[in-house]
Amino acid sequence: MSTEVLPPVAPEVLADAVEQLSARLRKKLDAAIADCAARAAPGADGSVDVPFGEDAVVTLRPGPSGTVTDAAHAVCTCLLAPRCLHRAAVLGAAPIADGGEAESGEPHGEPRGEPARGGDGSGDQVPAMSPVSGMAVGSGGGRTESAAAAATASAVSAGAAGTGGSGGAVGSRGVPGGVGGAAGEGPAPVLTVAQVRAASALWDASAEALSAGVTAGGAVVQAELLRAAHTARLAGLPRAEAAALRVVRGLRAARERSNGQRLSELAGAFRELLAGAALLASGSAGAVAAGTSRRAYEQGGSLRVYGLCREPVLSATGYGGVATHLLGAEGSFFSVSDVRPGGLARAKGAGSASVALGGAVLDHAGLARGGLRIVGATVSADGRLGAGRGVSATPVRGVDWSEEPVAALFARPVREAMVSALGDGTDGSGGSGADPSGAALLGCDVEVVGAVGDHLVVRVVDRGPVLRLRPAHPHPELPHAANLRRIAEHPGLVVRVLGRPDPERAATLRPLAVGPVPGASCTLRLPEEWLGRADLGYDRLQGSHFPSAAERPGPVGPPVADGPDPLADAPLWRVRRLLETGVAGGRRAVAEAGRCTDTAALVAPLRRAGLGGAARLAEALTAEADRRPRDAFGRLTDASADGYARAWLASAVHLAAAERSLVVASWS
C-alpha cells in the first residue's frame, strides 16, 4: 500500500479517531484501511481527498508543518462524521508522524527500521534483585551465560516492579525465580508520579500488542499503543514514545508485507520498548532513561579536531545527509552531521555540502581530510558538535592516518579496540563515541583474502583474526558495495581500514574508509589530494589506485572459505525463532509451538551447548504462553498479557546479551 499522497498524521489524532468508533465498526477498520491510499487524490489547495462511494468523501488538510495535527484537519461528509469508519480508515492509512523530537528518534546513522537505538533500558540503573541470574546460568555457566543472565535479571526485575500488584507473581507465572522490589543501590529516582503512570500504561499497551502479534495487531491495537505513546510524550518520556512509534511502524510494515521489513528488527523494537517501559514504570529510572525532547549540548571549551572520514546517512523515514567523523587531539570521537529530508539524493549530494559550524569555510569533503580549531565548542553526550552562536571554527591542516593522533587508532590491538567499541556485552550497551549506532570507530591493518558470497574476507596483519567486511550501507546507488568488490579482486593487498564493528554478526566490520598501509609494497596508491584515505561511501576506487600485477604477491593460499561463525553455529537460533514466532503470530503461536513440538527438541540442544539459561527461559515462555486459566464456565480468569510479556522480554534480553558475548568472543 502506497502512502505517498497521504500526509503524515499525529499519533494522538489517529488514536482519538479509532477510540470514537463503535465495537462493530472497529472490526471493519482493517479492511477499510486496505485500499484508502489507492483512492487518495491531491487537491488544488494542498488537501487530499479520499472518496468512499457516492455519498462520503474524507478530506485531509494538513497544517503548516505538512502534518495532520488536529482532529479538525480531517473531515468526512457522511452523516456519522466525525465518528465514522471512513475518517478513521483514512487516518489509519496515512503514515505516522513523529510525535516529538526525541533524541532516540533522530534520523542519524545506519538505518535499521529507525536508525537510532535508544537502549533496552536494562542497564545498571535497576539493580538485579531477583535470583534469575543464578537460574539463567543453568548447566552451562561461562561468560556468555553470565553476561546474558545479568541483563535478563535487570530486565525482569524492572518488569516486575513496573506492573503494579502483579509484579510478585513472576515466579508463579513461569518466569524463573521470584522478583523482589526495586529498592537497592543506584541513582535516586527522578521520575514523577505522572511519568510512572504513563510508563505503566505504555507497558500494558505494549504487552497487549506483543500478545496479539502481527496477525492480530491491526489498527485498533496500534491505536492503543499510539495513545499510550502520546501520553508518554505529554508526561516527558520522549524516548519511550519514540520506541513505541518504531513498533507501530514495524507492525504496519509487517502487515503490509513491505520489502524492507524484517521480523528480527520488529522483535528488537519490541524488546527495546518493553524493557524501557518496564524500567520507567518501576519508578527507579533516571533522567537518561526518560530521554530528552532535544539533544542536550554542553560547553566543550576549545577543541582541535581532525577529519577521519565521511559517511552517507540514509534513513528509512526519508531523511538523507552526511556525517563527518572527527578525532580530537586527546583521542575522543566527534562528528558533524547534516541530515535533512531528501532521501538518497540528499545523501549523495551532502558529501560536498558546506559545513555549518562556527563560520568555517569548509565543505564536508574538505573537513574529512582537514581539521578545525573550535572555540566555544558545544558537544552532545554522543560527541556531536553543535553550531551555536558562540561557536567559532577555524580550518587547520589535516593529518594523514599515519600521523598522531590518528595513528593511535590503528596501533591498538584489534581485540581491545573491538571490546572498547562495542562494550563487553554484559549490558547490551555499546561503546561511547560519535557513532550514531552506539559503537565507536575501529581501525586496523588487514590483508585481503578474497570474496565469499556478499562479503569480503580479510585477515588482520601479524596473525590477527579473520574478519568479514560488509558494506556499511547496502544501497546499490551508494559506492560501498562496489568499492569492496573492487578490493576483493586483489588478494594479498594490504589495506588500512577504518569502520564500525557490526554488533549483530560475528567478526564483522562495516568499513567507512580505507587507506594505504605505511611501508607496505602491495597496498593502495591513492591520489595526493585524498590525503591517504578513500571514503567508501563517496569516493570510487579505480584500477589506477591498486598495485600493478607485477607488484602483487603470488597465490595467498587455498581457495577462500569462511571461517567458523560461533554465532551461526550456536543453537541460539532456536530461541530467536521462538521469539520471532511470537512477534509474528502472537501468544497463540508460541503456545502452539510449545505444544506441537517436542519441548526437548527445543531445550536439549541448548543445554548440550552449555546454554542452560536460554533453555530455562524458553521453557518458561512456552509455559506462560499456554497458561490460560478458566473458570467452570470456560471464561478466562486472567486475560492479562502481563506475565507473557515479561516471560518474552526475559528471553529476548537474555538472547541479545548472549549473542553480543559471542560476537565479542569472535574477534579473538
Question: For the segment 278-306, what is each residue's pLDDT rounded down to a tens digit?
Answer: 999 998 887 778 877 666 667 767 899 99
Q: How many residues does the chain have?
A: 668
In this model, does residue 85 exceed pLDDT 70?
Answer: yes
With a pLDDT cut of 90, the percent of the chain lying above it is 50
Task: Give the mean model confidence (pLDDT) for residues 451-472.
Answer: 90
Radius of gyration of the CA atoms of the chain, in A: 26
In this model, does residue 126 exceed pLDDT 70?
Answer: no
Per-residue model confidence (pLDDT) at position 59: 94
Q: Which of 341-345, 368-372, 585-589, 591-595 has the lowest mean pLDDT?
A: 591-595
Q: Which of 166-175, 219-228, 360-369 has the lowest mean pLDDT?
A: 166-175
C-alpha cell at 351: 558529501
171 three-class SS: coil
Q: What is the pLDDT of residues 619-658, one digit of tens each?
A: 999 999 988 788 788 787 777 899 999 999 999 999 999 9
Return the number of other C-beta atoms located less than 10 Å from residue 194's C-beta. 13
In this model, does residue 440 exceed pLDDT 90?
Answer: no
In this model, does residue 138 exceed pLDDT 80?
Answer: no
Per-residue model confidence (pLDDT) at position 285: 81
420 three-class SS: helix
In this model, does residue 226 exceed pLDDT 90?
Answer: yes
Q: What is the dihedral of CA 625, 629, 633, 635, to 10 degrees?
A: -50
In this model, does residue 471 exceed pLDDT 90?
Answer: yes
Residue 18 CA to residue 31 CA, distance in Å, equals 14
What's phi and psi for 655, nearest 5 deg? -65, -45
In this model, does residue 188 exceed pLDDT 60?
Answer: no
Return the number of other C-beta atoms located less than 10 Å from residue 301's C-beta. 10
In this model, does residue 141 exceed pLDDT 90?
Answer: no
With a pLDDT cut of 70, the percent of the chain lying above it is 79
Per-residue model confidence (pLDDT) at position 259: 65
CB 77 within 8 A of CB 57: yes
Q: What band does 434 get if pLDDT is binned at 50, 70 and 90?
A: very low
CB 175 within 8 A of CB 624: yes
Q: What band does 153 get if pLDDT is binned at 50, 70 and 90?
A: low
- Would you call 224 exposed, middle or buried from its count of C-beta atoms within 10 A (0-12, 13-18, 19+)? buried
Per-residue model confidence (pLDDT) at position 77: 94
Per-residue model confidence (pLDDT) at position 556: 52
Per-residue model confidence (pLDDT) at position 628: 79
pLDDT higher at 207 or 36: 207
Model confidence, pTM? 0.80
In this model, does residue 325 exceed pLDDT 80?
Answer: yes
In this model, does residue 368 exceed pLDDT 50?
Answer: yes
C-alpha cell at 125: 540503573
In this model, does residue 119 exceed pLDDT 70?
Answer: no
Per-residue model confidence (pLDDT) at position 127: 27
Residue 525 CA to residue 515 CA, distance in Å, equals 9
Mean pLDDT over all residues of the chain?
A: 81
Per-residue model confidence (pLDDT) at position 124: 31
Per-residue model confidence (pLDDT) at position 151: 56
- Provide the residue type at 411 as one letter: A
Please enumerate in sequence order all residues whose Cβ is within 8 A of that of 57, keeping only pairs 6 or more positions apart, or say none.
Answer: 49, 50, 51, 76, 77
Residue 119 CA to residue 502 CA, distance in Å, equals 16
Q: What is the pLDDT of residues 530-572, one digit of tens each?
A: 989 999 999 999 999 999 877 766 555 555 566 677 888 889 9
Task: Give the mean model confidence (pLDDT) for residues 590-606.
Answer: 79
Per-residue model confidence (pLDDT) at position 72: 94
Helix (H) or strand (E) holding 395: strand 392-396
Alpha helices in 499-637 (DSSP H): 566-569, 572-596, 599-608, 612-625
Per-residue model confidence (pLDDT) at position 578: 94
Per-residue model confidence (pLDDT) at position 174: 34
Q: What band does 596 get if pLDDT is binned at 50, 70 and 90?
A: low
Q: Which of 147-151, 389-393, 464-468 has the lowest mean pLDDT?
A: 147-151
Q: What band does 224 get if pLDDT is binned at 50, 70 and 90?
A: very high
Q: What band does 452 get if pLDDT is binned at 50, 70 and 90?
A: confident
Quick one: which of 309, 286, 272, 302 has its CA closest to 375?
302
In this model, does residue 154 exceed pLDDT 60?
Answer: no
Q: What is the pLDDT of residues 164-184, one digit of tens each?
A: 433 333 333 333 333 333 334
Per-residue model confidence (pLDDT) at position 369: 93
pLDDT higher at 609 or 230: 230
Cα 436 to its chain centre, rounded Å, is 10
Please identify which residue in the block is written with the cell numbers 593529518. Answer: 399
